[in-house]
Amino acid sequence: MKKLLFVAFVFGGLALTSCKKDYVCTTTIPEVIPGMGETVSEAPFNDLNKSDAEDAETTCESTGFGVWSEK
């Protein structure tokens, strides 16, 4: 019974931990001055948990030029 309870605690602990992932915000700004071309930049966001990733996604897409994606 103790072994079963121990295994249940281990799996329960693993289920409650959050996975951290890597994301990137790609910003594409259209051509402003003729002949200059568009500007593309990428900003990496590494090891974010879900709530931090949601906040960063909102910030990235708030400009209207940003695209949020998972690496």
Q: Is residue 58 part of a domain?
A: yes
User: How many residues would you count in the chain?
Assistant: 71
Residue 62 DSSP label: T
When divided into structural domains, the chain yields a total of 1
Does an H or E element contain 27, and which? strand 21-29
Neighbours of 33 (CB within 10 A): 6
Q: Is residue 40 part of a domain?
A: yes
Q: Is residue 11 part of a domain?
A: no
Q: Is residue 8 part of a domain?
A: no
* pLDDT per residue rounded down to tens, the chain (71 residues): 767 665 566 565 555 566 789 999 999 988 888 888 888 999 999 999 999 999 999 999 998 999 999 98
Residue 35 DSSP label: T
Q: Is residue 9 part of a domain?
A: no
Q: Is residue 64 part of a domain?
A: yes
CB of 37 closer than 8 Å to CB of 31? yes
CB of 48 closer than 8 Å to CB of 20? yes
Query: Where in the sequence is the domain holding 27, given as residue range(s)?
Result: 20-70
